[in-house]
Amino acid sequence: MLRLMVAVVIAFGAGNALAQKKMYRCGNQFQERPCEGPKAEATVESLPKADLQKEQEIAAKRREREQALRLAKCENYGEELADVTTRIKASADEKVKAQLSRRKLEMEVRIGRECK
Protein backbone atom coordinates (compact mmCIF):
# COMPACT_ATOMS: atom_id res chain seq x y z
CA MET A 1 0.00 0.00 0.00
CA LEU A 2 2.81 2.37 0.87
CA ARG A 3 4.50 1.62 -2.45
CA LEU A 4 1.30 2.43 -4.27
CA MET A 5 0.98 5.78 -2.53
CA VAL A 6 4.61 6.65 -3.30
CA ALA A 7 4.09 5.70 -6.94
CA VAL A 8 0.96 7.85 -7.16
CA VAL A 9 2.71 10.85 -5.59
CA ILE A 10 5.65 10.47 -7.95
CA ALA A 11 3.34 10.11 -10.94
CA PHE A 12 1.39 13.23 -10.05
CA GLY A 13 4.55 15.18 -9.29
CA ALA A 14 6.23 14.24 -12.57
CA GLY A 15 3.08 14.80 -14.61
CA ASN A 16 2.58 18.17 -13.00
CA ALA A 17 6.14 19.25 -13.77
CA LEU A 18 5.72 18.28 -17.41
CA ALA A 19 2.35 19.99 -17.68
CA GLN A 20 3.67 23.27 -16.32
CA LYS A 21 5.83 24.20 -19.26
CA LYS A 22 5.74 27.93 -19.49
CA MET A 23 4.14 29.18 -22.67
CA TYR A 24 4.58 32.68 -24.03
CA ARG A 25 2.02 34.45 -26.16
CA CYS A 26 3.47 36.20 -29.17
CA GLY A 27 0.71 37.86 -31.12
CA ASN A 28 -1.84 35.18 -31.89
CA GLN A 29 0.54 32.27 -31.30
CA PHE A 30 1.89 30.55 -28.20
CA GLN A 31 5.46 29.34 -28.01
CA GLU A 32 7.88 27.93 -25.45
CA ARG A 33 10.32 30.83 -25.53
CA PRO A 34 9.72 34.56 -24.99
CA CYS A 35 8.90 36.77 -27.95
CA GLU A 36 11.57 38.70 -29.76
CA GLY A 37 10.00 41.85 -28.36
CA PRO A 38 8.75 44.89 -30.20
CA LYS A 39 10.61 45.69 -33.33
CA ALA A 40 13.22 48.32 -32.76
CA GLU A 41 12.09 51.75 -33.85
CA ALA A 42 13.89 53.21 -36.77
CA THR A 43 16.99 55.03 -35.65
CA VAL A 44 18.24 58.24 -37.15
CA GLU A 45 20.86 56.36 -39.17
CA SER A 46 18.32 53.99 -40.69
CA LEU A 47 15.86 56.70 -41.74
CA PRO A 48 16.11 57.86 -45.31
CA LYS A 49 17.30 61.44 -45.67
CA ALA A 50 13.85 62.64 -46.76
CA ASP A 51 12.26 61.20 -43.60
CA LEU A 52 15.01 62.65 -41.42
CA GLN A 53 14.56 66.05 -42.99
CA LYS A 54 10.78 65.82 -42.56
CA GLU A 55 11.20 64.92 -38.87
CA GLN A 56 13.53 67.88 -38.39
CA GLU A 57 11.03 70.22 -40.09
CA ILE A 58 8.21 68.94 -37.88
CA ALA A 59 10.34 69.44 -34.75
CA ALA A 60 11.25 72.98 -35.86
CA LYS A 61 7.58 73.84 -36.46
CA ARG A 62 6.67 72.44 -33.06
CA ARG A 63 9.35 74.58 -31.39
CA GLU A 64 8.12 77.67 -33.27
CA ARG A 65 4.52 77.01 -32.18
CA GLU A 66 5.57 76.52 -28.56
CA GLN A 67 7.64 79.72 -28.66
CA ALA A 68 4.72 81.69 -30.14
CA LEU A 69 2.35 80.36 -27.48
CA ARG A 70 4.83 81.22 -24.74
CA LEU A 71 5.28 84.75 -26.06
CA ALA A 72 1.51 85.28 -26.33
CA LYS A 73 1.04 84.01 -22.79
CA CYS A 74 3.75 86.33 -21.47
CA GLU A 75 2.23 89.26 -23.35
CA ASN A 76 -1.16 88.50 -21.78
CA TYR A 77 0.46 88.31 -18.34
CA GLY A 78 2.05 91.73 -18.94
CA GLU A 79 -1.26 93.26 -20.01
CA GLU A 80 -3.00 91.80 -16.96
CA LEU A 81 -0.26 93.13 -14.69
CA ALA A 82 -0.61 96.60 -16.20
CA ASP A 83 -4.39 96.42 -15.70
CA VAL A 84 -4.00 95.37 -12.06
CA THR A 85 -1.52 98.19 -11.45
CA THR A 86 -3.93 100.73 -12.96
CA ARG A 87 -6.78 99.41 -10.83
CA ILE A 88 -4.63 99.67 -7.68
CA LYS A 89 -3.93 103.34 -8.41
CA ALA A 90 -7.60 104.07 -9.11
CA SER A 91 -8.99 102.21 -6.11
CA ALA A 92 -10.05 104.07 -2.98
CA ASP A 93 -10.98 101.06 -0.88
CA GLU A 94 -8.08 99.64 1.16
CA LYS A 95 -9.49 96.10 1.11
CA VAL A 96 -9.66 96.14 -2.68
CA LYS A 97 -6.14 97.61 -2.87
CA ALA A 98 -4.84 94.78 -0.67
CA GLN A 99 -6.47 92.15 -2.87
CA LEU A 100 -5.15 93.77 -6.03
CA SER A 101 -1.68 94.08 -4.50
CA ARG A 102 -1.66 90.34 -3.79
CA ARG A 103 -2.78 89.71 -7.37
CA LYS A 104 -0.01 92.00 -8.64
CA LEU A 105 2.58 90.11 -6.61
CA GLU A 106 1.28 86.77 -7.95
CA MET A 107 1.49 88.07 -11.52
CA GLU A 108 5.04 89.36 -11.01
CA VAL A 109 6.11 85.97 -9.66
CA ARG A 110 4.42 84.15 -12.57
CA ILE A 111 6.04 86.45 -15.13
CA GLY A 112 9.43 85.98 -13.47
CA ARG A 113 9.06 82.22 -13.46
CA GLU A 114 7.50 81.58 -16.87
CA CYS A 115 8.64 84.46 -19.06
CA LYS A 116 12.34 84.86 -18.36
pLDDT digits (tens, 9 = 90+) for 35-73: 876 655 545 555 567 788 889 999 999 999 999 998 999
Q: Is residue 9 part of a domain?
A: no
Report how many domains make up the chain: 1
Q: What is the mean pLDDT of residues 75-83?
A: 91
Looking at per-residue confidence, does 31 or 9 come out higher?
31
Structural domain range at position 92: 50-116
At a CB cut-off of 8 Å and minimum separation 6, what does 22 contact? 32
Residue 10 lies in a domain: no
Asked if residue 73 belongs to a domain, the reply is: yes
Q: Answer yes or no: is 37 within a domain.
A: no
Q: Report if residue 11 sits inside a domain.
A: no
Question: Is residue 16, in this structure, part of any structural domain at all?
Answer: no
Q: Which pTM does this prediction carry?
A: 0.48
Q: Is residue 4 part of a domain?
A: no
For residue 25, the surrounding DSSP H or E stretch is: strand 24-26
Mean pLDDT of 23-40: 75
